[in-house]
């Protein structure tokens, strides 16, 4: 891809946009970095680009005279593809791509791509561990935190790059091709951005669009949407299931995770050897093992890696046990389906769950939580903008307590809990009404729990 002297706008001044602007400027493009917010509110990393790389910074509306000069738009995941600058440049035969597509054009080696409504980060992290500990040269990035552009120049012909991909990132790919592509599940999410669920699902499906017969597509046989994608893919398909035995693929039988090829079966690991909780994490592990096998990692090496895996921060993360009450941080449960999986994991043990729900809703119904709340929840502690909506839809199934802050919510949850119970932060909502990110929300939760633990320890002295 020729970059030198191309007049480029990067839309979105977040981490991905900053990486793209820096990458392009270093290769001789004429670059402007744009965001809707004023330049004064740009991050320090974004502001630094003006001095270090000659990148222009533009806040607010883009002038039409500037758009007339642009022939390349690099769009960040948080910016809708229907934004006026992207549509304008596209109509005048300019190129509109995302940071992932830009990175792909400069990458070497091979790629494992992971998408899905839930479980992406856990699966991506685990695959990275499996490959590294299996002796494979590995890089991990994408939606998980490190922009793919920051990794592109580190790749060589021996590298496997493991990439977490959101629907937003997949909207803007053109040639991006993962050698192994995984779709974990597709459930209602981001309906505040997509008009129809089918649009969201088709964005996920794009992960497979450039695969070839020598590539591998890994699909969840238990998910209605992903299972329907078996026919019509160019790649070889491998399925996984926790609900049924497959003629070929990876599946759960009793307490054993099994790989079957033809008539040959092999037990890869047992559930007793797995630390992380929940049947959904068994799904993630099956998908990760499919990738590991495709990349040539020995089953014995995978078994060791998985047995030592302790999960990912903010994903059903065990925080503390205080007075017989266990605290779990699943701040990443930003959708209803993710909260369902979190509650299902809690229901595998003894005791009831006091769940902290709420935040900025995504226009998805909370009804899928109803049965779990009715059978497993002692109390719902509700916070944030969507608290009224959650209570209207779920209030009949468990007692409700309102809280005005996370500190208030955690203390009220602890007061509601009994010995042997779990306190679970699984908001089913985005964090942006109260926090900058789900990570900040989770960290605040853990800090409050640590404070309660310290107070309890002092009182026992």
Sheet holding 249-253, edge to edge: 138-142, 160-164, 110-115, 180-183, 216-220, 236-241, 249-253, 256-261, 264-270
Distance of alpha carbon 69 from alpha carbon 67, whole angstroms: 5
Q: Is 143 a catalytic residue?
A: yes
Q: Is 190 a catalytic residue?
A: yes
Which entry of 143, 179, 281, 422 is annotated as an active-site residue?
A: 143
State the angle between helix axes of 120-133 and 279-294 in degrees (0 to 180), rounded to the nearest 10: 40
Q: Is 47 in the active site?
A: no
Structure tokens at 367: 């009804």
Which tokens go with 244?
A: 């049924």
The active-site residue, picked from 22, 47, 190, 446, is 190
Measured distance CA(96)–CA(13) in Å, rounded: 16
Q: Which helix (H) or strand (E) holds 58?
A: strand 56-59
Q: Do residues 384 and 437 lie in contact, with contact meaning Cβ atoms separated by under 8 Å? A: no
Number of Cβ within a 10 Å radius of residue 193: 17
Q: Is residue 271 a contact partner of residue 282, using CB atoms and an 8 Å limit?
A: yes
Assess contact for 389 and 361: CB atoms under 8 A: yes
Please pick, among 120, 205, 280, 341, the residue that the annotation labels catalytic. Answer: 120
In terms of DSSP bridges, do strands 7-11 and 422-425 run parallel, antiparallel, or are they unpaired? unpaired
Task: Give the SS3 label for residue 424.
Answer: strand
Quote the DSSP letter at residue 430. B
Residues tagged active-site: 120, 143, 190
């Amino acid at each position: 891809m020729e970059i030198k002297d191309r007049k480029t706008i990067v839309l979105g001044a977040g981490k991905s946009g900053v990486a793209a602007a820096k990458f392009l400027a270093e290769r001789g493009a004429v670059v402007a970095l744009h965001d809707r917010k004023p330049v004064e509110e740009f991050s320090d990393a974004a502001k630094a680009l003006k001095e270090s790389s000659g990148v222009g910074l533009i806040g607010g509306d883009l002038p039409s005279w500037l758009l007339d000069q642009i022939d390349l738009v690099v769009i960040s995941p948080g910016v809708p593809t229907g934004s006026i600058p992207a549509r304008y440049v596209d109509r005048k035969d300019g190129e509109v791509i995302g940071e992932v597509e830009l990175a792909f054009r400069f990458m070497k080696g091979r790629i494992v791509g992971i998408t899905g409504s839930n479980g992406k980060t856990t699966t991506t992290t685990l695959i990275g561990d499996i490959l590294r500990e299996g002796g494979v040269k590995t890089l991990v990035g994408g939606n998980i935190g490190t922009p793919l552009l920051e990794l592109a120049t580190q790749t060589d012909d021996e590298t496997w790059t493991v990439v977490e991909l959101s629907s937003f990132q997949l909207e803007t790919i053109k040639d991006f091709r993962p050698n192994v592509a995984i779709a974990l599940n597709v459930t209602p999410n981001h309906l505040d951005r997509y008009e129809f669920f089918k649009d969201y699902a088709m964005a996920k499906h794009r992960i497979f669009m450039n695969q070839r017969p020598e590539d591998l597509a890994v699909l969840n046989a238990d998910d209605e949407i992903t299972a329907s994608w078996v026919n019509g893919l160019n790649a070889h398909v491998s399925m996984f299931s926790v609900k049924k035995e497959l003629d070929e693929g990876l599946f759960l039988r009793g307490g054993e995770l099994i790989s079957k090829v033809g008539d040959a079966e092999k037990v890869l690991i047992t559930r007793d050897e797995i630390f992380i909780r929940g049947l959904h994490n068994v799904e993630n592990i099956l998908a990760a093992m499919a990738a590991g096998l495709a990349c040539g990692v020995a089953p014995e090496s995978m078994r060791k890696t998985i047995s030592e895996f302790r999960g990912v921060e903010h994903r059903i993360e065990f925080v503390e046990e205080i007075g017989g009450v266990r605290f779990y941080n699943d701040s990443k449960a930003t959708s209803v389906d993710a909260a369902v999986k979190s509650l299902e994991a809690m229901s595998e043990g003894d005791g009831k769950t006091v769940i902290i729900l709420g935040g900025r809703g995504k226009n998805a119904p909370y009804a899928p939580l109803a049965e779990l709340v009715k059978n497993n929840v002692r109390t719902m502690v509700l916070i944030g903008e969507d608290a009224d909506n959650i209570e209207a839809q779920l209030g009949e199934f468990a007692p409700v307590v309102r809280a005005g802050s996370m500190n208030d919510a955690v203390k009220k949850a602890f007061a509601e809990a009994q010995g042997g119970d779990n306190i679970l932060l699984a908001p089913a909502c985005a964090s942006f009404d109260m926090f900058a990110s789900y990570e900040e929300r989770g960290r605040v939760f853990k800090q409050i729990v640590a404070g309660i633990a310290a107070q309890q320890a002092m009182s026992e002295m």
